[in-house]
A and B are shown apart, each in its own frame.
Chain A
Amino acid sequence: MSFLRRLRLPHTWQGWLTIALFGFMYGPIIVLGIYSFNDSRRYTSVWQGFSLRWYESLFQDARIFRSLQDTLFVAIVAVAISSILGTLMAIGLSKYYFPGKGVYRGVSYLPLIIPDISIAVATLIFLASMAIPLSIWTIVAAHMVFCLAYIAVVVSSRLGSLDPNLEEAAFDLGATPTQALIKVLLPQLMPAIVAGCLLAFVLSVDDLLISSFTAGGGANPLPIEIFSRIRNGVKPDMNALSVLLILASGMIAALAEYLRYKGSAVER
């Protein structure tokens, strides 16, 4: 009760609107969660009792598990390579001045602003004209484009707030550029690199369009599988799958925000 008394309700319409929009943002997800436990044969809004049957049928679905494997493989490989390329790119852009740097930087921002469908179309045409057969590796290659762009942006913003004296001190104490990079710069950038990787991971796992255009027959990532199932009539086990995936990405998000918070707290 003392908690309720201490919980001061907002006394402005902006505050009430914020509460209402929190409901708007979380309501559909909560509804989905509730229905995933609904014991009904058909997909209906009528509550017919609590049941775990949809989770059971989900865990027996081998197709979903293969799709999940494909998705995780693509995301992990693309993010792992992009974390190195993206971090190097961010450091390079902060260190060096050269003709055409503006163009380079502009191109590195393109994946963040061009609609997915355009990137997907361009990649498909490129792969077709080079006669590269579509496979899980073409998905990885296409995902790397936006993964490294996002990681570079997150790392760049961190680089801007670093103390340049630390690296110079390392040089004064006789460190080689490589040593200074590994022993001084990278540890300071680590929270940003991890946060960027988590963001890229979530985007890669979520991607439908670019995967659809670069997958071919060989691979079938989860978003493609979910999309085709939703379009061909829904079964409630999709609700169960959604709940699990949303919980998983929520945990990744919380981890990323915690790292970001910790990173900025260390600075202060």
Chain B
Amino acid sequence: MSASLGERQGKRLAVGGGQFLRRLTGPVALLGPAGIWLLLFLVLPTLLILEISLVPGLRPEDVGGSYGLGNYFQVFNPLAASFDPVYLQVIGRSLYYALVSTLACLLLGFPVAYWLAIMAPRRWRNFLVVAFILPLWTSSLLRAYAWTSILRPTGLLNSFINGLSGLIPGVQLPTQSWLYSSAAVFIGLTYSFLPYMVLILYASLEKLDISLLEAAADLGATPRQTFWQVTVPQTLPGIAAGCLLVFITSMGDFVVPTLLGGASSTTISRLIYNQFLGITRNWGLGSALSMVMILAVSLAIALLLKYGDRDSVKEA
């Protein structure tokens, strides 16, 4: 009696196991291949650069070495013997470029997104938005290259300035080599990432309830008050997301600072590039800088998600 009960239970377990396996085939078939690929070519490599970054001064031909924070000290610890302030300067410059171009994108992008989402003729809206972000689909390399022919010493911008000087007698407007300067990097970064900002702000402004703006106006608010007290708070998550995205992508950008910036405008991604494909190679240091960048980006995203959640909590 008890044996048959046990047998039955065993059978049920076996059937349950079979069902369990069958229930597993779906998820494994759907999520397995991509998961393995991401594990192999993303997670594992990232763990590897974490390991390499802890091996001081590893050159490609070196093998092994003892673990330590030497590569990080070289960048961050002023007390370390190997400390070189140039790395902090490069990181600071990257942050500065990213900050200025993010601000420029926000100041230029917000009015454009506002016009496209609220003021533009309704039937043209979709077309205009797509037209504005269309350049994103073209090669970022070629778009940066396009600016070189404008900013070169004998380029279009200086020809234009010379032309203006010719029109006004007695005045010589200054021309300069715009290319290979910080100004060129600002222009290039703003040009590259403005469409992202407009796209995100547009998505946020499109959801804005117009009746709120009308209500504010009915209650006697000036347009300025309506803007700062209704429109901006309502679109704050979009503003935060847009700024963060532009900040991260322009901080990590390689093409614009390399093609438009000069030797004195090296950024963190150029620095990392040189540690692997340049003349003076140092895989350990390159990995450490790369880890710093990954951590900074992850932290920024985590902060955004946290504040995004807080916003939705407030709304609820």
- Cross-interface CB contact of A13 among B111, B128, B134, cutoff 8 Å: B111
* Interface residues on chain A, number (Cβ under 8 Å): 86
Instruction: List the A side residues contacting B259 at CB < 8 Å.
Output: 230-231
Binary per-residue interface labels of chain A (25-36) against chain B in the complex, 1 for a CB within 8 Å, 0 otherwise: 110110110010
Instruction: List the A side residues contacting B258 at CB < 8 Å.
Output: 231
Q: A123-B45, A253-B134 are in contact. Are A45 and B276 (CB under 8 A)?
A: no
A242, B248: Cβ atoms closer than 8 Å: no
Q: A28-B143, A29-B146, A88-B29 are in contact. Are A124 and B42 (CB under 8 A)?
A: no
- Interface check A119, CB cutoff 8 A: yes
Instruction: List the A side residues contacting B112 at CB < 8 Å.
Output: 14, 17-18, 21
B131, A145: Cβ atoms closer than 8 Å: no
Q: A12-B119, A28-B147, A117-B290 are in contact. Are A95 and B297 (CB under 8 A)?
A: no
Within 8 A of A (CB), among B104-143: 108, 111-112, 114-116, 119-121, 126, 128, 130-132, 134-135, 137-143
Provide the bound-state CA to CA distance between A25 and B277, in Å: 32
Determine chain A's interface SS by DSSP, over half rule.
Answer: helix
Instruction: List the B side residues contacting A65 at CB < 8 Å.
Output: none
Interface-centre pick from B30, B119, B132 (highest chain A CB count, 10 A): B30
Closest to B110 in A: A14
- Interface check A57, CB cutoff 8 A: no
Provide the bound-state CA to CA distance between A113 and B301, in Å: 8
Provide the bound-state CA to CA distance between A126 and B48, in Å: 7
Min distance, Cβ A227 to any Cβ of chain B, angstroms: 6
Instruction: List the B side residues contacting A148 at CB < 8 Å.
Output: 34, 37-38
Instruction: List the B side residues contacting A12 at CB < 8 Å.
Output: 115, 119
- Interface check B6, CB cutoff 8 A: no
A95, B26: Cβ atoms closer than 8 Å: yes
A122, B34: Cβ atoms closer than 8 Å: no
Instruction: List the B side residues contacting A252 at CB < 8 Å.
Output: 137
- Interface check A218, CB cutoff 8 A: no
Binary per-residue interface labels of chain A (41-83) against chain B in the complex, 1 for a CB within 8 Å, 0 otherwise: 0011100000000000000000000000000000000000000
- Cross-interface CB contact of A29 among B31, B138, B152, B248, cutoff 8 Å: B138
- Cross-interface CB contact of B287 among A92, A108, A125, cutoff 8 Å: A125
A115, B150: Cβ atoms closer than 8 Å: no
Instruction: List the B side residues contacting A89 at CB < 8 Å.
Output: 30-31, 33-35
* Interface residues on chain B, number (Cβ under 8 Å): 80
B26, A31: Cβ atoms closer than 8 Å: no
A206, B141: Cβ atoms closer than 8 Å: yes
Closest to B255 in A: A208
Binary per-residue interface labels of chain A (121-139) against chain B in the complex, 1 for a CB within 8 Å, 0 otherwise: 1111110110000000000
A88, B33: Cβ atoms closer than 8 Å: yes
Min distance, Cβ B277 to any Cβ of chain A, angstroms: 6
Instruction: List the A side residues contacting B126 at CB < 8 Å.
Output: 261
A234, B37: Cβ atoms closer than 8 Å: no
Closest to A98 in B: B27
Min distance, Cβ A185 to any Cβ of chain B, angstroms: 11
Within 8 A of A (CB), among B23-77: 26-27, 29-31, 33-35, 37-38, 41-46, 48-49, 52, 60
A223, B141: Cβ atoms closer than 8 Å: yes
B34, A152: Cβ atoms closer than 8 Å: yes
Within 8 A of A (CB), among B244-274: 248-249, 251-255, 258-259, 269, 272-273
Chain B residues with a Cβ under 8 A of chain A: 26-27, 29-31, 33-35, 37-38, 41-46, 48-49, 52, 60, 108, 111-112, 114-116, 119-121, 126, 128, 130-132, 134-135, 137-143, 145-150, 152, 154-156, 159, 191, 194-195, 248-249, 251-255, 258-259, 269, 272-273, 276-277, 283, 286-287, 290, 293-294, 297-298, 301
In the assembled complex, 21 residue pairs joining A and B whose CB atoms fall closer than 8 Å, in A order, are A14-B111, A14-B114, A17-B111, A24-B191, A32-B142, A85-B37, A86-B34, A92-B26, A92-B27, A107-B42, A115-B269, A117-B254, A122-B49, A123-B41, A125-B48, A125-B283, A128-B60, A145-B42, A230-B141, A246-B139, A253-B138
- Known: A15-B120, A91-B30, A126-B44; 7 extra A-B contacts, CB below 8 A, are A14-B119, A17-B108, A96-B26, A122-B46, A144-B41, A209-B254, A230-B141
Chain A residues with a Cβ under 8 A of chain B: 8, 10, 12-15, 17-18, 21-22, 24-26, 28-29, 31-32, 35, 43-45, 84-86, 88-89, 91-93, 95-96, 98, 104, 107-108, 110-111, 113-119, 121-126, 128-129, 141-142, 144-145, 148-149, 152, 177, 202, 205-206, 208-209, 212-213, 223, 226-227, 230-231, 234, 238-239, 242, 245-246, 249-250, 252-254, 256-257, 261
